[in-house]
Amino acid sequence: MTKIYCTREEWLTAATEEFRSVFAAKAKPIAASVRVTCGFPLTAKRSGSIGECWADTASADKVMEIMISPTLADPYRVADVLVHELCHTVAGAMNHGVNFKKVADAMHLVPSAGKAGYKATSHGDAFKQAFKPIIDSLGEYPHGAMSISTRKVQGTRMLKAMCGACGYTIRLTSKWAGLGLPVCYCGGGMFTLGGI
């Protein structure tokens, strides 16, 4: 694939504009004001979410906001996540209810097996056939997938505090130790031993 766009946002915005006619012809029009970016959805760490659509009421300039996870780099996967999120911009389809399902089905999205259902969708053969000309015309998705598993996570540095009289031990953060160490149940004084 050739590189046509320099940034992910240019690619995503161009894709959104190309998808408008497909939505209008096969389902319902998407919202007039939609902004798309590459970024971690709010619940990504907890739920593993790879896409998110925010209602226009959350934006100061009343624009629907869509985020596509930077863990994705395959243009077909990026496109199907974008189409999923664009389904939410259709009037009455902000949740994963009946209206969303109708639009998602019209856009050839395949619901996940199990309890997730339409909360998580992917592309199948019908999606590829319907959207291949558009996705190919956009060229290479200008992005390399990010791996969040390689990021070192700083844990909370806990201090160990011990009672000088009975040896009772607790762990607490430096914030609470700085405000004052607790008094042991035996009445003895606590002192810190350092971090772990």
Dist. CA 53–CA 36, nearest whole Å: 9
Domains by residue range for the chain, with CATH: 8-149 (3.30.2010.10), 158-195 (no CATH)
At residue 103, φ and ψ (nearest 5 deg) are: -70, -45
Q: pLDDT over 70 for what percent of the chain?
A: 94
Query: Which comes out higher in pLDDT, residue 27 or 192?
Result: 27
Q: How many CA atoms lie within 13 A of 182 on its CB side?
A: 14
Residue 188 pLDDT exceeds 60: yes
Residue 153 has what pLDDT?
Answer: 65
Residue 196 has what pLDDT?
Answer: 43
Tokens 């504009």 identify what position?
17
Residue 9 has what pLDDT?
Answer: 97
Tokens 């199907």 identify what position?
80
Strand partners, 194: 160
* Predicted confidence (pLDDT) per residue in 19-28, tens digit: 999 999 999 9
At residue 118, φ and ψ (nearest 5 deg) are: -75, -5
List of residues 6+ apart from 134 with CB closer than 8 A: 15, 18, 19, 22, 79
